[in-house]
């Protein structure tokens, strides 16, 4: 039997009108960061048309091989729609950002996004064709309080590119 709604705890969710869901949950361990990102960036940013905080119930999973070669799946934190582009965005605590597995996941998500750009979306979805993966660190978010989504994008790209470059440098030493 299918349910027409996803049940979330009110104390661990954010109210939004930019999603198909009236409330989006956030992980209690990352409560402040994810919650504040939704409330202070995604909800008020005029360029954000829609977004969702993805969880295990969603089917968007990116396959990758971890640093030991084992096949795994990566579940992105957010999917964000703007007039020009679709974004996959991962929020990451500073204590985790330099984990080698983050670099492998980031490279897989960039490859997924590059492939998604080649697929024309169905007309009825009114969705832009370009996709991009972004990585938002907790410190970048806090240092740039008050910026809208579009202003944060270059910082997220820089973090993503730095993390991937670190991985590639390690591979070729």
Average pLDDT value for the chain? 84
78 near 68, Cβ under 8 Å? Answer: no
% of the chain residues with pLDDT over 90: 50
Q: Output the CA torsion 19→23→29→34 (10° steps).
A: 40
98 near 138, Cβ under 8 Å? Answer: no
pLDDT at 115: 95
pLDDT at 46: 95
Give the pLDDT band of residue 59 (cuts 50, 70, 90): confident
pLDDT at 58: 74
CA-closest candidate to residue 168, choices 107, 109, 110, 115: 107
Domain boundaries, the chain: 30-171
Instruction: Give the residue, 135 or 58, on which the prediction is more confident.
Output: 135
Q: Residue 78 has which token pair? A: 């957010």
The mean pLDDT of 158-166, rounded to a whole number, is 92
pLDDT at 67: 79
Tens digit of each residue's pLDDT (9 = 90 or more) over 75-93: 998 999 999 999 999 999 9
Is 3.40.1350 the CATH number for 30-171?
Answer: yes
Instruction: Give the residue, 134 or 14, on which the prediction is more confident.
Output: 134
Tens digit of each residue's pLDDT (9 = 90 or more) over 40-54: 899 999 999 998 888
* CA–CA dist 98, 1 (Å, integer): 42
- The CA R_g of the chain, rounded to the nearest whole Å, is 16
């Amino acid at each position: 039997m299918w349910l027409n709604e996803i049940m979330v705890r009110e104390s661990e969710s954010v109210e939004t009108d930019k999603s198909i869901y009236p409330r989006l949950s956030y992980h209690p361990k990352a409560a402040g960061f994810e919650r504040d990102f939704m409330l202070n960036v995604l909800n008020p940013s005029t360029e954000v048309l829609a977004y969702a905080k993805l969880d295990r119930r969603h089917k968007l999973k990116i396959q990758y091989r971890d640093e030991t070669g084992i096949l795994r799946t990566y579940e992105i934190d957010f999917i964000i729609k703007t007039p020009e582009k679709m974004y996959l965005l991962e929020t990451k605590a500073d204590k985790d950002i330099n984990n080698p597995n983050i670099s492998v996941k980031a490279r897989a998500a960039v490859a997924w996004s590059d492939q998604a750009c080649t697929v024309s979306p169905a007309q009825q979805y009114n969705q832009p064709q370009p996709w991009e993966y972004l990585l938002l660190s907790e410190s970048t978010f806090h240092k740039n309080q008050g910026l809208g989504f579009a202003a944060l994008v270059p910082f997220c790209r820089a973090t993503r590119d730095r993390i991937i470059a670190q991985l590639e440098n390690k591979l070729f030493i």
